[in-house]
Structure 1
Amino acid sequence: MSSEEPLFTTPDPSEPPRVPSTSGNAGGVSSPLTSSGIRRSFEVGERRLEVLHGVDMELRPGERLALMGTSGAGKTTLLNILGLLDRPTEGKVHVEGVDAWSLSPAKRAELRNRRIGFVFQFYHLLPELTALENAILPAMILFKGSEFRRRREEFEGKAHDMLVRFGLSTRLGHRPGQLSGGEQQRVAIARALLLDPPILIADEPTGNLDRGTGEKVLEILLDEQKERDVSLLLVTHDERLAKRCERVLFMEDGLIQADSSAPMPT
């Protein structure tokens, strides 16, 4: 792909970017997210701290993949790189066949916004926006000016339907400070899904919630993942959450040390 060739050919977020064909999977279906040889180091004073030591991983189409490991194993660093929030020192990340870190910053940001949804432990909602406005934020960022104004009603309707389905029909006009933790996380899930991304990255999505609230939020997240056939990468310390996934990766000392299958619950 030349540097002048546009990555995206349509402003419609329901359509994926054009990507080179790959043959890594049966039937020619490209894995939504892969990494190869990911290394990450940081300069700490006069010494170099190596956090990731050449991580290879694959998120398969439509699967639930859990990533576990002790604190300091490198999970968050890897997640930031896979989510195109941080650049690796070495290695490649492919999003639907696109070498993400070879793109310009603007194209990479567009790829991330269109194709990857994020759910964070601490929600990261904008305090000055209402629940509905927070949920449509990805569209506000992607479609600027007249294009967003033309389609605002469409995105507000989509976000409204999700928030109502998530039990927030009476909270649409409330700001984050007026919402409980569980309500804020539901808004965050709606925000992550607004543009129908094929990839969902969830970093300890119930880690800041009590057990009962966390289970309700988890059911919403997993129901949406299954209904939409989204590929979910779930970082967690909770074995109960990991058991809801089809595969579990275990990280230790900056490497994936084990890859085991966990049966899906009925």
Structure 2
Amino acid sequence: MTTPRIAFIGAGNMAASLIGGMRAQGVGAESIRASDRGAEQREKISAQYGIDVFASNAEAINGVDVIVLSIKPQAMKEVCLDLAPHIKDGQLIVSIAAGISSASLANWLGERAIVRCMPNTPALLRQGVSGLYANPQVSAEQRQQAEQLLSAVGLALWLDEEHLIDAVTAVSGSGPAYFFLLIEAMTAAGEKLGLPRETAEKLTQQTALGAAQMAIASDVDAAELRRRVTSPAGTTEAAIKTFQAGGFEALVDAALNAAAQRSAELAEQLGK
């Protein structure tokens, strides 16, 4: 597949991470361009990645294969309505904005090939994961283009049904904050046990990193890994039993359901 020409509408942190990932993979600067309302941000992106930048969204998308909508959800409708007359047949629309359905995008842009993506913030370190949904107008080649784009910053996983984007939001989109909360709580508990705060923080952070890497590299699931490190009547078992006695699994289930429900509510509000 030839390298598609890509225009980013909005050049904030997530767009910058995608651009950086593509450049690191060897995609030439001539294949990437971006627009942004802020002159300072345009200058920063151009200097860092050597790409062409524009103040005009319409100029940025002229002649490209893929248009990436990387703007705040609250501004999406206005931007799309302004952009719609300038979009050509065959251009793929990729939206990384949370809460904006493909139906809403089609309402504002016309019937287009649209891929919705839900990346997460570790994409800034190229350690992200994204859920992708393609509407029926998206061709096989365009699916490859979207996957190539999101794979530049981590793992890209396709969804068969768009409503599952809400579940992706609950699990991975909001997920980093859950782990930050656990790190925060474990650090505080370690400090109460007498550890210097910096030591407790480093112990917790490295343990989280190591556990995640073990889970990814292992040929067994997380439940089996947990069993392997939980000796009968040992220290780990004492902690796990305390977690479970406090309703840990039920609390996680309730929390993710709340996030998914809120994602669906926001989609309904923002899509009007």
TM-score clears 0.5: no
Q: Give the structure with the higher percent strand.
A: 1
The higher radius of gyration belongs to 2
The two structures have a TM-score, normalised by structure 2, of 0.25
The two structures have a TM-score, normalised by structure 1, of 0.26
The structure, 1 or 2, with the larger RCO (C-alpha pairs under 8 Å, 6+ apart) is: 1
Q: Give the structure with the higher percent helix.
A: 2
